Structure 1
């Protein structure tokens, strides 16, 4: 099936996709966002579409997977926020918080200076906690490319931290592939 025909069929599916998204998340704004992300993912992944399968089934599966990922990520963020709040309430020190904030700003400034490709991969994996595969799919590059971009970003960050006597509040946890 030609790409233009597929895109036309996708447009015809929009009302059904929105209805399905609305039933899943029960929030019109969230449903619209979910449909938009589904269409973006589908268009970006058209080369992976098997013409032997039904387009509607493929798109509904993408939407459902995005929804489940969103629910899982939201639950994980809430859990991490609760843990952070426990630490915050028990040990809040205003002077230390101000110093940490300045140190964090220095690290953020450095990350902002990284090459865009490397910075994007670093933030998606190390900050957002996304999988290598999801990032590779989103960017439309092989997993090896994601791995090498992440390694370059981590190496530059490590070098910067070493030459700048890593700020007190910055502790690098052990991550796959280094740092």
Structure 2
């Protein structure tokens, strides 16, 4: 099997894209690396489920997304209600920090974190990783129109959050 058709070589070549995608989901480099490692382990364990002739990238991105959602749900279940006594100790915002936090990059990251998971995933796949709508749809197992709709809603929410029109969205 030549390196160009060797799925193991392709899996290795996908690592940078997987890390970018995972970082977009987690917002943290270390958590992204852990997510990619867990997902790649699952891919290796389930290698027999991948069908040659189909997109290996879509299959692996789907595993990353599913792993992220599973871990996210687990964290949500474990999370206890906010301790209202601890809230009393929270200090108010510093005006200087508020001004610094207005940079577009920080604002966009904050807004992305508030998006529903299905919109965040599509946004990361298409805008960060550069997947086509068709490839993103295949990776998520949804129609292309659903990808387009989720992406439009995500971009609209980002534009609204930044006080821009949807045509000006990043």
For this structure pair, what is the TM-score category when the shorter chain's length is used for normalisation? 0.3 to 0.5
**Higher fraction of helix:** 1
TM-score (norm 2): 0.44
TM-score (norm 1): 0.42
Higher Rg of the two aligned structures: 1
